[in-house]
């Protein structure tokens, strides 16, 4: 089952034309990712500052279908999927009043933080993937 996150577009998210700045769409998606981790009882402080492993984004993509403006009420739905023993991908769908306005993808790889070499996903991430997958 996918995870959903509600967010209001803030003035700081927009550019001079009053629409959401393209890079901020990924920041908004990352907020939804963090919320989904927390909802699965993953301690964010430990997760993002764990000295033994990291989950860098190795690929990101956004398709913009309609503009988003300050004050818009967004619903971000995310659906993670395991791609292998050491990587996963998250598909995001951003809607306003049930109209899809953007779609995004982030691909993450699990690495040893010291050596920067790939390692298998830990059990807590596998559980998160299973909980939030379609």
Tell me the per-residue pLDDT of 3-27, one tens digit each, with 9 for 90 and over.
999 999 999 999 999 999 999 999 9
**pLDDT tens-place string over residues 102-113:** 999 999 999 998
* 36 domain-assigned: yes
Query: What is the model's pLDDT at position 51?
Result: 73
From CA 49, how far away is CA 51, in angstroms rounded? 6
Q: Are strands 87-96 and 99-109 parallel, antiparallel or unpaired?
A: antiparallel
Question: Which residue range forms the structural domain that includes residue 12?
Answer: 3-127
Q: Is there a domain that residue 133 lies in?
A: no
Average pLDDT of the residues of the chain: 95
What global pTM score does this model have? 0.93
Residue 34 tokens, joined:
């963090």
Active site amino acids? 15
| 132 occurs within a structural domain | no
Examine residue 51 and state whether it is found in any structural domain, yes or no: yes
Q: Number of structural domains, the chain?
A: 1
In a domain, 9, yes or no: yes
pLDDT at site 122: 93
Note the maximum CA span of the chain: 45
Q: Assign residue 43 the CATH number of its domain.
A: 3.10.129.10
pLDDT in tens, the chain (134 residues): 689 999 999 999 999 999 999 999 999 999 999 999 999 999 998 888 867 899 999 999 999 999 999 999 999 999 999 999 999 999 999 999 999 999 999 999 999 989 999 999 999 999 999 998 86
Kindly write down the DSSP assignment for every residue of 5-30, as one continuous string.
EEEEPPGGGB-TTSBB-HHHHHHHHH
Whether 134 maps to a domain, the answer reads no
């Amino acid at each position: 089952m996918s995870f959903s996150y509600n967010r209001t577009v803030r003035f700081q998210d927009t550019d001079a034309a009053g629409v959401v700045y393209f890079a901020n769409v990924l920041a908004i998606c990352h907020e939804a990712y963090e919320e989904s981790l927390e909802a699965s009882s993953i301690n964010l402080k430990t997760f993002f500052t764990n000295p033994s492993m990291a989950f860098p984004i190795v690929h990101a993509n956004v398709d913009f279908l309609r503009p988003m403006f300050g004050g818009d009420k967004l619903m971000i739905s995310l659906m993670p999927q395991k791609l292998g023993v050491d990587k996963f991908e998250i598909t995001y769908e951003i809607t306003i009043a049930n109209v899809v306005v953007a779609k995004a993808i982030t691909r993450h790889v699990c690495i040893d933080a010291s050596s920067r070499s790939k390692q298998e996903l830990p059990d807590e991430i596998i559980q998160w993937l299973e909980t939030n997958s379609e």
